[in-house]
Structure 1
Amino acid sequence: MAIETAPLLLSSNSTGLGTNGNAEQPVVKAVSVVKEFGYESKRLWKLAGPAIFTAICQYSLGALTQTFAGHVGELELAAVSVENSVIAGLAFGVMLGMGSALETLCGQAYGAGKIRMLGLYMQRSWVILLTTACILVPIYVWSPPILELIGETTEISNAAGKFALWMLPQLFAYALNFPIQKFLQSQRKVLVIAWISAAVLVLHAVFSWLLILKLGWGLTGAAITLNTSWWLIVILQLLYIFITKSDGAWSGFTWLAFADLWSFVKLSLASAVMLCLEFWYLMVLVVITGRLPNPLIPVDAISICMNIQGWDAMIAIGFNAAISVRVSNELGADNSRAAKFSVVVVCVTSIFIGVLCMALVFATRYDFPYLFTTSDAVAAETTKLAFLLAITVLLNSLQPVLSGVAVGAGWQALVAYINIGCYYIVGLPLGILLGFTFGFGVEGIWSGMIGGICLQTIALIVVTSITNWKREAEAAESRVRKWGGSVVDY
């Protein structure tokens, strides 16, 4: 079963029309480029639109829980916020990263027409991620001393640690959810995920209000609603897969899920390292800022900026998923030229959106801080940081997209090394040097870390530019054969 591919409107044999072919050739090629760009853009948005919507809905589950917890009390808000951003944030990054291996494997298998292998791949990912979830359980259990170690107060650490224990079911929901979503995304069934996420978000809002505020269950109610919402997403997606068989991609459970796991584990670990290094990079900014003298106002300001950046990141996550599907599908179908053109289209689109978002941040720099604070001092500090936020928003419109290209092509290990070098060997030390040694404070810390993002983005642009896409298509074919299991035609 081969996938439908974009028509290649450009041709090296195009000679124009009639006797004036040579004169008309540039015009014909220009028209062809515009038509092909429009066609590819339409295909991209059909994937990216629902993916962005899904990311916003699922991001909002934790955000809503924090909002309702804030109406209970300051300690409850701190407990939920810290657990969400540190403990669950750590687990989220690991699970999302390891689950992203499926974007490469399922996407390329689907493109090659080996649709029955998708169910096998998903089951292998479940085995690996459920094992990883068990390994992460001690972090939840021992979260109070871990949080105190990184600078949280004893009171907040104990409250967040208690909430973390209650949130263990969410950890195992992550382990099932991310492979399911990559399985469905690779088949372009993004609308299914979007509708399920939207329905669960509505229920989550209603029951959060009922349990946390109306019935007065506080953190207990928050844990019940958040756990239930994530498991409801998992259950509804599984029901869809089991009932519809996902057009043949699901043919039941098999013991082959436990065979030939090592190569799968290596790609999953490379994916986890690659995405976690990106996911945690800007989170470190808040922690480092807390080490400044008189950190209260800078921490509040940087938290507001990271909140804005987090919402903006949902757009990039949608394009990340879309280009990963497009590249993996086209490489799996041996359409190297279509894969390359998809990368061009998504980069142009993402940069355009990034410029708009950057302009919006800069234009509203005196106003948007008051959406989050009533303190003039915090608002003024946030306005000072708006220029750095605008640059970060622009860079983060392109950088996650290039990471999506890397996932679609299977370059996770290479990008992991690039991330280590650019982020943690260059960007982070540079930020600490500027912020503390040279006394530029939070602006210096953030500027140095932006330098790391710039360097990483340039490195990914170079890698993408020099890539031999024909060779990548051949590698995708080899990967499908190699990791198909003991029985390739399962």
Structure 2
Amino acid sequence: MASALETLCGQAYGAKQHHMLGIYLQRSWIVLIICTILLLPLFIFTAPILRLLGQEQSIASMAGTFSLWFIPVIFSLVFSFTFQMYLQSQSKNRIISYLAALSLILHISLSWITVTKLHMGVSGAMGSMVLAMWIPTFGQFAFLLCGGCPDTWTGFSWIAFKDLWPVIRLSLSSGAMVCLEVWYNTILVLLTGHMQNAETEIDALSICLNINGWEMMISLGFLAAAGVRVANELGGGSAKAAKFSIVVVVGESLSIGSVLFVLFLLFRGSLAYVFTEDGEVAREVAVLSPLLAFSILLNSVQPVLSGVAVGAGWQSVVAYVNVTCYYLIGIPLGIVLGYLIGYQVNGIWIGMILGTLVQTLVLVCITWRTNWDKQVTIAQERVNKWLLPKSNVACGGRGTA
């Protein structure tokens, strides 16, 4: 849902309405905190929910333990994601990188101490994760309050509680778009849990998805770049610059994805031993590696086009595309190939890849056929519609900061 802020802040910053960014940030906090509170029962009752869905007792119980530890994490994400969108829209990426590096070092160090030296197991690993997630958030708060964004932050304001409905609506569209993508991969694990020899299958799949997740971080970086550049250029009134940004970002991401595609095909036999010493799991990873390579290739294009959609404010359109391609094409095909034809986890993943391929082709067509001059007009109308006078924002900030 925080990606709504990427659209709002990016377009307002491009239109030089800098004083609105702080108001949008606070409105997003209000919306996301309420949403997180509403989601708490899902985290509290994860184990019984998974058991009702037919998962094995051991898998459901461990998932329930992890989900309870994630409660403080999801509250930290309310602020870390919104801060990230707010700062990225102003191209203030350095502070995000520094704090992320600090968080990574801290997480690795604390995990090593708590798990290896203190033998605290899951509790140690998750406790270190909670600390590592909150420290960058406090750092971003300090950066903001100490004058890191003087043009866009005028202090806390009661104005943020007004006109929340447009932010809620765009946030819900953004949440639907992103969640439908994330849940798509989660369903892959859920379906695999019903296979024969499920633990080995899930171990192998988890390794592949972990590798895929590492590579996805590169694509998410390009997603952010595409979203920021497109939003800034549309808000600034330049359709030509927006189109040029799309071509450059997609080209760079696809080049990196193509290199990784070849590397994962070449080294598929040795990938698993970075994560496990189990020969059976390693052999299963080697079988899945070609599918992993194709997923990585698609991931070098699809997230970037999603970033373009976020920058232009198309979240609701992409949500409909995701429902159709993922849940009406990809998952049914995966179930047929995996269960009915008997390809097991390979069949499920092939179906999911085909769904992603269709979604990518649809997004390419939408992007190619878009009238970007019209998108400039829409973006500027959105900025002007929600614009508040700078004097009003400043007065509201001084009164409550």
Q: TM-score scaled to structure 1, two decimals?
A: 0.77
Q: Of 241, 245, 266, which residue of structure 2 is paired with 1:342?
A: 245
Deviations 1:400-439, CA, capped at 9 Å, x for gaps: 0000000000000000000000000011101111111122
What is the Cα deviation at residue 265 of structure 1?
Answer: 0.5
Name the residue aligned to 2:363.
460
Please state whether the residue corresponding to 1:365 is helix, strand or coil: coil
C-alpha distance in 1, partners of 2:34/2:379? 27
List gaps (5 residues or longer) in structure 1.
1-97
Name the residue aligned to 1:128.
31
- Does structure 2 retain, via aligned residues, the 8 Å contact 1:196–1:233? yes
Q: Which protein has the larger Cα radius of gyration, Structure 1 or Structure 2?
A: 1
Q: Of 416, 429, 433, which residue of structure 1 is paired with 2:336?
A: 433
**1:476 aligns to 2:390 (yes or no):** no
Greater Cα offset, 344-353 or 409-418: 344-353
Name the residue aligned to 1:42.
none
Identity %: 46
Name the residue aligned to 2:313.
410
What is the Cα deviation at residue 244 of structure 1?
Answer: 1.6
Please state whether the residue corresponding to 2:237 is helix, strand or coil: coil
Deviations 1:116-135, CA, capped at 9 Å, x for gaps: 10000000000000001110
Name the residue aligned to 2:327.
424
Q: Of 362, 373, 397, which residue of structure 1 is paired with 2:300?
A: 397
What is the Cα deviation at residue 159 of structure 1?
Answer: 5.0
**1:254 aligns to 2:147 (yes or no):** no
Please state whether the residue corresponding to 1:247 is helix, strand or coil: coil
Please state whether the residue corresponding to 2:154 is helix, strand or coil: coil
Q: Of 375, 380, 388, which residue of structure 1 is paired with 2:291?
A: 388
List gaps (5 residues or longer) in structure 2.
394-401
Equivalent AA in structure 2 for residue 369 of structure 1 = A
C-alpha distance in 1, partners of 2:301/2:240? 21
C-alpha distance in 1, partners of 2:16/2:73? 34
What is the Cα deviation at residue 487 of structure 1?
Answer: 7.2
Name the residue aligned to 2:109.
206
What is the Cα deviation at residue 301 of structure 1?
Answer: 2.3
What is the Cα deviation at residue 170 of structure 1?
Answer: 1.6
C-alpha distance in 2, partners of 1:218/1:376? 24
What is the Cα deviation at residue 288 of structure 1?
Answer: 1.0
Equivalent AA in structure 2 for residue 247 of structure 1 = P
Judging changes above 3 Å, is the alpha-carbon distance between structure 1 residues 299 and 208 closer, same or farther for their aligned structure 2 residues? closer
**1:287 aligns to 2:287 (yes or no):** no
Q: Of 32, 37, 42, which residue of structure 2 is paired with 1:139?
A: 42
C-alpha distance in 2, partners of 1:184/1:361? 34
RMSD of the TM alignment (CA)?
1.9
The number of residues matched between the two structures is: 393
Deviations 1:12-50, CA, capped at 9 Å, x for gaps: xxxxxxxxxxxxxxxxxxxxxxxxxxxxxxxxxxxxxxx
Equivalent AA in structure 2 for residue 410 of structure 1 = G
C-alpha distance in 1, partners of 2:94/2:254? 25
Q: Of 322, 328, 346, which residue of structure 2 is paired with 1:443?
A: 346
C-alpha distance in 1, partners of 2:119/2:290? 42
What is the Cα deviation at residue 163 of structure 1?
Answer: 4.8
Equivalent AA in structure 2 for residue 139 of structure 1 = L
- Does structure 2 retain, via aligned residues, the 8 Å contact 1:331–1:409? yes
C-alpha distance in 1, partners of 2:45/2:185? 24
C-alpha distance in 1, partners of 2:59/2:198? 18
C-alpha distance in 2, partners of 1:478/1:397? 32
What is the Cα deviation at residue 262 of structure 1?
Answer: 0.8
Name the residue aligned to 1:165.
68
- Does structure 2 retain, via aligned residues, the 8 Å contact 1:208–1:225? yes
Name the residue aligned to 2:97.
194
Q: TM-score scaled to structure 2, two decimals?
A: 0.93
Name the residue aligned to 2:22.
119
Equivalent AA in structure 2 for residue 471 of structure 1 = K
What is the Cα deviation at residue 173 of structure 1?
Answer: 0.9
- Does structure 1 retain, via aligned residues, the 8 Å contact 2:189–2:205? yes
C-alpha distance in 2, partners of 1:456/1:219? 37
Q: Of 234, 244, 255, which residue of structure 2 is paired with 1:331?
A: 234
| Greater relative CO, 1 or 2 (CA 8 Å, sep 6+) | 2
Deviations 1:177-228, CA, capped at 9 Å, x for gaps: 1111100010001110110111122223333333444345444444432222
What is the Cα deviation at residue 313 of structure 1?
Answer: 0.5
C-alpha distance in 2, partners of 1:165/1:311? 24
Greater Cα offset, 154-163 or 342-351: 154-163
Deviations 1:328-358, CA, capped at 9 Å, x for gaps: 0000000110000110111111111111010
- Does structure 2 retain, via aligned residues, the 8 Å contact 1:481–1:488? no
